[in-house]
Amino acid sequence: MKALEEAKKAGKARFLGVATHKNMVEVMQAAEEAKIYDVALTSFNFLDGASLHQNDTGTKTADAIAKATAAGLGVIAMKVQFGEIGMVTEWLAITGEVGKPSDEHPKKRVEGFSCRRSEVSGRRLWGLFRSRYPEPEWFFARFFVLNYCPLLFLDASGRNLTPHKLQPSERELLVAVCDRALRDSVECLSPGRVIGVGNFAAERAELVLSSLAIPVGKILHPSPSNPGANRNWAETAVRQLEEQGVEL
Per-residue pLDDT tens digits for 81-118: 556 888 888 888 887 777 777 788 898 888 888 888 88
pLDDT at position 52, please? 41
Q: Where are the domains of the chain?
A: 1-79, 102-248
- Of 35-49, 105-119, 221-235, where does mean pLDDT reach its minimum? 35-49
Predicted model pTM: 0.69
How many C-alpha atoms does 66 have within 13 Å on its Cβ side?
7
Sheet holding 74-78, edge to edge: 17-20, 39-43, 74-78
CATH class of the structural domain 1-79: alpha beta
Residue 57: pLDDT over 80: no
What's the topology of domain 102-248? Answer: Uracil-DNA Glycosylase, subunit E (3.40.470)
pLDDT band at residue 56 using 50, 70 and 90 as cut-offs: very low
- CA distances in angstroms from 54 to 21, 27, 49, 91, 132, listed in the order given: 9, 13, 11, 18, 29
pLDDT band at residue 58 using 50, 70 and 90 as cut-offs: low
Check if 1-79 and 102-248 are the same fold: no
